[in-house]
Structure 1
Amino acid sequence: MHARPIARATAAAAFVAGALWLLFDGGSVNYDAAYGLLWGDQVAHGSTPEFVVPLAPTPKPLALILGLVLTPLGDDAATGLRVFSFLTLGGLAVAAFACAAAVGGRRSGVLSACLVLTSVPLLSFGTRGYLDVLFVALALAAAWCVARDAPDHHATVALAVGGLIRPEAWALAAAHVLWIVWRDGRAPRVVLAVAASPVAAWLLCDLVVTGDPLWSLTGTRANVEALGRDTGLGALVTTAPRRIGEIVREPVLAGGVLATLLLGRPRPDRQTAALVALGAVSVVSFAGLVLAGSPVIGRYLLLPSVVLIVLVSGAVGRVGRGDGPAVLLAAAAVLGVTVLATPAQVDRLTGVRASLRAQTAIERDLEMIARAADRFDACRPITVEGHRQVPVVARELGVRATAIRLYRGPTEGLVILAATDRIRRLAALDRSVRPTAGGEPGASRPVAMTPSWVLLKRC
C-alpha cells in the first residue's frame, strides 16, 4: 500500500474508534486483559508474571507485551489499553470494508463494516479489550495482502503478530508458507523464520515462566474443567454453530445461500478465494484446538464469523438485474429476513450499550476502591468477592495475585465487596463462579465506598 491509502485507512479506523468511544463511554478492561496488564507490570518491576494462579486466563504473549509497554502510564495503563482496543475495533471495520469492497465493490464494503459494527458479540468483545478482535483484523489484512499480490512479508508479519494471540494463526501462517512454496517452489528463509516465531515465542514464554512449554494448553484444560465450559466433539458440533449464529445473526445466515450462488461462478476471484481459504483453515484449526481441550466460546469463532459476514456482503454487492431467478430469490430472502430481524437487533444493541456502560462504571469504581485500599497498607490480607476482581486489585495495590483471598465469610484485613445485589450480579460475569452473597458482620467497618463497591476494614 502507498502512503495515501494507509493514511485514509488509519483515519477511518480512528474515526470509528472515536465514535464508539463516545457511544460506550470508553469501554472497559476484561478479565483476560486485566491479567495482561498485571503481568506486564510485574515484568516491568523485575518479578515473574503470575501465570499459575487459579482460573488465570491463557497467557497470550502479546497481552504480556502490551501490559509491559503500557506500564509506564501508571494508573492510566488501563485507559491506554482501552484506547488500543477501540482502535483495534476500528481497524477491524476498515479491514472488513477493504476485503468486502474487493469482492463486491464499495457498497459491499460499507455493508460489511456496518454488519461488523452492529454485531453485539463483536461490540462486546471489542469494547472490553479482548485481543481476539485484533487477531481477526490481522487475519483479514493478511488475506487482503495475499489477494492483492503484496510482498509476502506483509501477510507473514500480520499472521506472526496474530500468532501471539491465537494458535489458529499458526495454521494460517503454515498455509501461507505452503502457498508460497506451491507458487515459487520454495519459501525464503526469512518468511519461514517469521512464520515460526510466534510458536517459538509462546513455548519459550511458558517454559521460562512455568517450567512447562505447554502450560497454555494444560492451564486452559484445567480452566475448562473448573468452569464447566463446553469442549470436545459434541460441543464442536452443537455449540459452535450456535455461537457463529449469535455473532452474524439471521440476515448473514440467510445470505450464505446468495454467497454460494454468486461467488463461485464461473470461478472465484482471488479475494474470494483468499477469504474462503482463510475461513476454512480457521475452522479446521479451531476444531483441532477444541478436540485438544480448548473451550467452544464465541470469541474463538470470531474469525470464521467475520469471514462469513465479508463474503455475504460481497455477494450482495454483486446482485444485478441480469441474474437468474435463483439469485434474485436468494437476494429477496436476505432482504426479507433483514426487515424481520431488524427490530430485535435494535433491541439487542440498546441492551448491550446499557450493559457495557454499566460494566465500565463498575470497573472504574473497582480501580478507585483499590486505590483507596492502598492507604491501609498495614492492614492485610486483602479479600475480594470473586476471582474477576483479583488482577485489577493486585495491579492497583502492587501485590501478588496469589496474596489476594476470595471471600468465604467474615475475615480479618481489608475486604472489597459489591455495594448492591445488582452490582454483584453484573460483576459475576461467569455464571459458574458466583461470588458469595451477603455482607460482613458489624465488626468490620466501611472505610471507603463507591457506587459499585465498599471497602471494609477489620485490623
Structure 2
Amino acid sequence: MRSARAPLLRRAAGLPWPALALLVLAIATFVGFLVYPTYPNYDSYYSLLWGREVLHGHLPSFDEYRSPTEHPLAVVFGAALSLLGRHGDRVMVFFTEASFVVLCAGIYRLGRLAFTPLVGLAAAGILCTRFDFPFLAARAYIDIPYLAFVIWAAAFELARPRRGGIVWVLLACAGLLRPEAWILIGLYFLWMCSGELQAHHNPRERLIRWARYAAYAAVGPVVWVATDFIVTGHPFFSLQHTTGLAEELGRTKGLSEVPTATRKFFLNLAKAPVLYAGIAGFIAAVWLAPRRALMPAALWLIGTGTFVLVGVAGLSVIDRYLLVPTLMVMVFAAVALAGWTMLREGLLIRKLWAIAAAAIVIYGIAFTATRVSFHNFDGELRLRGNSHRSLVELLDQPAVRAARRCGPVSTPNHKLVPDTRWILGASASQVVARADDAQAQRVKRGVSLFVVDRGALLRQALVADTDDPFDNIPLPDFRRLAFTDYYAAYVRC
C-alpha cells in the first residue's frame, strides 16, 4: 500500500497548488461580487463625484461639508468610471475586489520569496480569513489597491534588490492613493542612493542617478500639492482639511493614547490567535533565517512608525492606517504555521513543528467558527446593497424628481450626500446636509430625505456623537411624498 500511495503523493505534490488556489479565490470573489451587489463607501463615492466634475470641466468640490480627503489617483480612476454613467459605482467595486485577489497573490509571493512556498500559501490563506479585508474590498475602499501596490513593490524588490523600475511605479501609485506611502518612497530613495555609493560610479553619473531617483520619489507629494493648489488655492489643503475633520469627528488621539490604540487595532484586524502566532513566527524567523525576515520586519516597523506619526500629527487615528503592518503580522503568523518547511527533512523538530502547526490550524478554525458571526457578515453586506437600491428606488420616483424644483435635496448628515448626488447626477449645491449650519435656511424648502430603517439609521444618520437625532425628523409644513423600506422623502415648496 505504501508503494501504491507514493506515486499519488508525488503527483499531488507536483500540482501547481498556488495557481489553483489563486483560481479558486478569483472565482469565489467573482461569485461574491454577483451574490452581494454592494456599492462604494463614502470616500470612494466622492472620488467618482470629483472625477465626474473634472470631466464636466469643473473644479472638484474638495471643500464640501465634511468631505473626505481627496486621493489624486482615485479621482482619475473615478473620472474614467464616471464615463459609464450610474453603473460606474459597481464597476469600481469589481476592480477593488479584483485588487483583493491581486493582494493575496502579492502576499503569497512575498512569503514565498522571504521564506518558502508553503509560508506564502499560509499567509494568503490567513488574509482570506480576516474578514475585515474582503469587507473593505466589497465596499470599494482604496486601501485594498493601495495595499496591493505596496506588497507587490516589496515582493519585486525582494526578488531583486535595488531593482528600481516597476518598484518606483508601484510606490508612486501607492503615494497617489495614500500619503503614508511617501515615507516608504523616501526610504526607498535613500536605499537606492546608498547603492550608487557602493557602485563606485563617477560623481557626475551618480548625481544624475540621484536626481532621477529624487524625481521618482517626488511624484506623489508634487502631484498631491499641485492638485490642492489648482483646486483650492492652498497647496496644503489636504493636510489642513484632514486635521480639521479628524478633530470634528473625534478621531484624534494624544501621544499617550497611541500605544493603546495600536494594540487594540492590531487585535481587531488580525485577531488574537494570528497576532500571537505572528509574534512566535517572528522569533522563529529571526532564529532560522534573520536575513529573510528583514523585508517583512522592515514593512512592519515602517507601517507602525507611520501610524504613530499620524497620531502625533493630530490626523485621524483609525485602524485602516495599520493595514500594512497587520499584513506583516500575517506573514510571520504563516511562518509559525509553515516555517518547518525551512528545516531539513528528517529532523525531529521539523516533524514536531508540523504536528504543532496542524494543531494551531485546528484551533484557529474552532476559534473562527465559535467567535465569528457569518450571519452578521452576511447581514452587513446585504444591508449595504439593499439600502442603496432602496435609495435609488426612492430618488427615481417621478414625484421626487419633479419636487427638486422646490429646493435642494437634503439628508440628515453628510453620510448620504455622495450617494444621493451620484444617483441624481447632482452638483454639490443641489444636495446638502441638514447637519450643516451653513444650510439652515436652504433646507427649509425642497426635498428632505429621512432614514426609516433601524440598521441604516445607525450607519447613515446617527454615526457620530455630534449627530442630532432631530435632523432625521421632518420640519413643520413638510409633507410625505414617497417612501421605501429604508428611506422616506418629504417636500415643501
1:72 to 83, 91, 94: 83
Structure 1, unpaired ranges of 5+: none
The aligned amino acid for 1:181 is C
How is 1:379-394 mapped onto 2 (pairs within 5 angstroms)? 379-394=406-421
Task: Tell me, yes or no, if structure 1 residue 323 matches structure 2 residue 329.
Answer: no
Q: Secondary structure at the match of 2:74?
A: helix
- Aligned mates of 1:9, 1:169 — CA distance in 2: 30
Q: Which amino acid aligns with 1:17?
A: T
2:222 aligned with 1:200 = yes
What is the CA distance between 1:304 and its match in structure 2? Answer: 0.6
Look up the equivalent residue of 2:53 and give its one-letter code.
Q
Deviations 1:141-174 (A, max 9, x none): 0110011117411111111000011112111112
Shift of 1:339: 5.3
1:7-406 mapped onto 2 (5 Å cutoff): 14-22=26-34, 25-149=36-160, 151-185=163-197, 186=206, 187=209, 189-270=211-292, 272-319=293-340, 322-323=348-349, 334-335=360-361, 338=364, 341-347=367-373, 349-372=374-397, 373-406=400-433
Change (3 A) 1:75 1:123: same
Structure 1 distance, partners of 2:430, 2:143, is 29
1:351 is aligned with what amino acid?
N
Tell whether the 8 Å contact from 2:278 to 2:331 is kept in structure 1 after alignment.
Answer: no
Tell me the CA shift for residue 53 of structure 1. Answer: 1.7
Shift of 1:188: 5.5
Q: Residue 43 of structure 1 contacts residue 49 of structure 1 at CA under 8 Å; is this kept in 2? A: yes
Q: 1:422, 1:288 → 2: CA distance? A: 35
1:174 and 1:299 map into 2 onto residues whose CA distance is 21
Q: Distance in 1 between matches of 2:107 and 2:461?
A: 33
Q: Secondary structure at the match of 1:130?
A: coil
Q: Is the 8 A contact 2:448 2:489 kept in 1?
A: yes
Over alpha carbons, which structure has the higher Rg? Answer: 2
CA positional deviation for 1:215: 1.1
Q: CA deviation at 1:402?
A: 4.1
SS at match of 1:378: helix
Which whole-Å CA distance do the structure 1 matches of 2:226 and 2:41 have between them?
A: 26
Match of 1:451 in 2: 485
What's the secondary structure of 1:323's corresponding residue?
helix
SS in 1 for 2:67: coil
TM-score using structure 1 length = 0.89
The range that moved more, 372-381 or 198-207, is 372-381
For each residue in 1:248-276, what CA deviation from the matched residue of structure 2 results, as whole angstroms up to 9, or x when unmatched?
11221121232123211354244x32222
SS at match of 2:251: coil
Kept in 2, the 8 Å contact 1:81–1:129? The answer is yes
- Contact 1:279/1:307, CA 8 A, preserved across alignment: yes
Equivalents in 1 of 2:466, 2:106: separation in Å? 36
Query: Residues 270 and 326 of structure 2 are in contact (CA less than 8 Å); yes or no, is this contact kept in structure 1?
Result: yes
1:430: how far off? 3.0
TM-score by length of 2: 0.83
Contact 2:451 2:461 in 1 (8 A): no
Aligned pair in 2 of structure 1 residues 65, 351: CA closer, same or farther (>3 Å)? Answer: same
Match in the other structure for 1:426: 459
Provide the rounded CA distance (Å) in 1 between the counterparts of 2:404 and 2:460.
Answer: 25
Deviation at 1:429, TM superposition (A): 6.9
- Structure 1 residues 95 and 350: alpha-carbon distance in aligned structure 2, compared to 1, 3 A threshold: farther
Deviation at 1:44, TM superposition (A): 1.0
Amino acid at match of 1:279: W
Determine if contact 2:408/2:430 at 8 Å carries over to the other structure.
yes
Following superposition, the deviation at residue 201 of structure 1 comes to 0.5
Q: 1:10 and 1:194 mapped to 2: Cα distance?
A: 32
- Look up the SS of the partner of 1:414 in the other structure: strand
Q: Distance in 2 between matches of 1:353 and 1:269?
A: 42
One-letter code aligned to 1:453: Y
Checking the alignment, whether the CA contact within 8 Å between 1:13 and 1:94 is kept in structure 2 is: no
> Are 2:40 and 2:93, in contact at CA under 8 Å, matched by a contact in 1?
yes
Aligned mates of 1:334, 1:14 — CA distance in 2: 27
**Residues 99 and 15 (structure 1), Cα distance of their counterparts in 2 relative to 1, 3 Å cut:** farther
Tell me the alpha carbon deviations over residues 386-407 of structure 1, each in whole angstroms, 9 at most, x when there is no partner: 2111112223333332443333
Say if 2:251 and 2:317, in contact at 8 Å, map to a contact too. yes
**In the alignment, is the contact (CA less than 8 A) between 1:9 and 1:94 conserved in 2?**
no
2:264 is paired with a residue whose SS is: helix
Distance 1:411 1:394, change over 3 A: same
> Compared with structure 1, are the counterparts of its residues 155 and 8 closer, same or farther at alpha carbon in structure 2 (3 Å cutoff)?
farther
- The residue that corresponds to 1:412 in the other structure is 445
Query: Structure 1 CA distance, aligned partners of 2:225 and 2:348?
Result: 55
Q: Percent identity?
A: 26
Q: Contact 1:416–1:456 (CA<8 Å) still a contact in 2? A: yes
User: Which residue identity is paired with 2:415?
Assistant: R
Deviation at 1:458, TM superposition (A): 2.0
Report if the CA contact (8 A) 2:93-2:137 is conserved: no
- The 8 Å contact of residues 248 and 309 in structure 1, kept in 2 or not, is answered as yes
1:236 offset after TM fit, Å? 1.4
The letter for the 1-side match of 2:189 is: V
Superposed CA offset, 1:302-335 (max 9, x none): 1110111022213421226543999789858845
